[in-house]
Amino acid sequence: MYRLVSLLALAALAACSRGAPPVPEPGASSPAAVEAPALPPVMGPERRILAVGDSLFAGYGLASPAESYPARLEAALRARGINARIANAGVSGDTSGAGAERFAFVLKSQPRKPDLILLEFGGNDVLRALPPEQTRANLDRMLAEARAQGVPVVLMGLLAPPNLGPDYKARFEPIYPALAKQYGARLVPFFLAPVIGKPDLIQDDHIHPNARGVDEIVAASVEQVAGALPRS
């Protein structure tokens, strides 16, 4: 059963790179975070959230940015009475290394310091069979920067595919729970779990979540995000 889930996870992880723009060179400037369209006002203080990741945040293949995970999560939080505003800094094709290169810039370029960061990287690292130690170091770098800026984090976890072998799996998968514990981050253990094995929730390329799939992922993670917001 785990082997089936892991094989499907590999296909889902390809969402981070297939058909995506080239990964930015280290040190290259990155696009500014794009915010979701305005939603009806909600009572209470505005809670700013910064979503930093790859195409799983960028909304690759969806009809509009309003269908991306950060935009749909924003709507779900507002439906719960939380006056959330999520800035989407997802860039298709990013490895954790590319994310680490731009993370501090994106964080410091926000109009005001966010109340929470959503961090989602590692899929492209797996597809390229990059050493898990690199992934861990890059995620560690971003989490350390978030801590230095005093911003809590929700970390989106991923699984490793079986074709990379048990050693790779044993080195890769503990990265997320270990770093979440080290930095006191809220962990979503397997971000793509709600769409694995459900072709009706995946786009025609059999890789990216479709709009319904995004909504399922949101439904499975919104309470963890809401719970990670600091008390105002």
55 is catalytic: yes
Per-residue model confidence (pLDDT) at position 161:
84
pLDDT computed for residue 39 by the predictor: 59
Task: Report whether 19 contacts 205 (CB < 8 A).
Answer: yes
State residue 203's pLDDT score: 87
pLDDT tier at 38, thresholds 50, 70, 90: low
Residues with Cβ within 8 Å of residue 145, at least 6 apart in sequence: 103, 104, 107
Q: pLDDT class for 12, splitting at 50, 70, 90?
A: very low
Its domain, for residue 68, covers: 2-228
Q: What is the pLDDT of residues 40-85, one digit of tens each?
A: 567 789 999 999 999 999 999 999 999 999 999 999 999 999 999 9
| Structure letter (DSSP) for residue 2 | H
**Nearest alpha carbon to residue 57 among 179, 201, 205, 217:** 217
pLDDT tens digits for 78-107?
999 999 999 999 999 999 999 999 999 999
Sequence-ordered alpha helix ranges (H) in 87-172: 96-108, 123-127, 132-148, 165-172
Does the pLDDT at position 143 exceed 50? yes
* Least trusted range by pLDDT, from 16-20, 114-118, 144-148, 225-229: 16-20
Catalytic residue among 94, 115, 208, 215: 208
- pLDDT value at position 228? 97
User: Which is catalytic among the residues 6, 55, 92, 96?
Assistant: 55
Pick 210 or 25 by higher pLDDT: 210
Mean pLDDT for 127-149 is 97
Domain count, the chain: 1
More confident residue, 208 or 9: 208
pTM of this prediction?
A: 0.83
Cα–Cα distance between 76 and 193 in angstroms, integer? 19
pLDDT at 208: 84
* Burial of 28 per CB tally in 10 Å (0-12, 13-18, 19+): exposed
Average pLDDT score over the chain? 86
Q: What is the mean pLDDT of residues 143-165?
A: 95
Measure CA of the first residue to CA of the last residue in the chain; give whole Å: 43
Q: Is 26 a residue whose pLDDT tops 80?
A: no
Instruction: Quote the pLDDT of residue 41.
Output: 65
Res. 130 pLDDT band, cuts 50 70 90: very high
Q: What is the pLDDT of residues 156-206, one digit of tens each?
A: 999 998 889 999 999 999 999 999 999 999 999 999 999 988 999 998 877
> Does pLDDT of 16 surpass 60?
no
CATH number at 53 reads 3.40.50.1110
Per-residue pLDDT, 118 = 98
Q: Taking the CB of residue 15, how many other CB atoms lie within 10 A of it?
A: 27
The CA dihedral of 101, 106, 107, 112, to the nearest 10 degrees, is 170
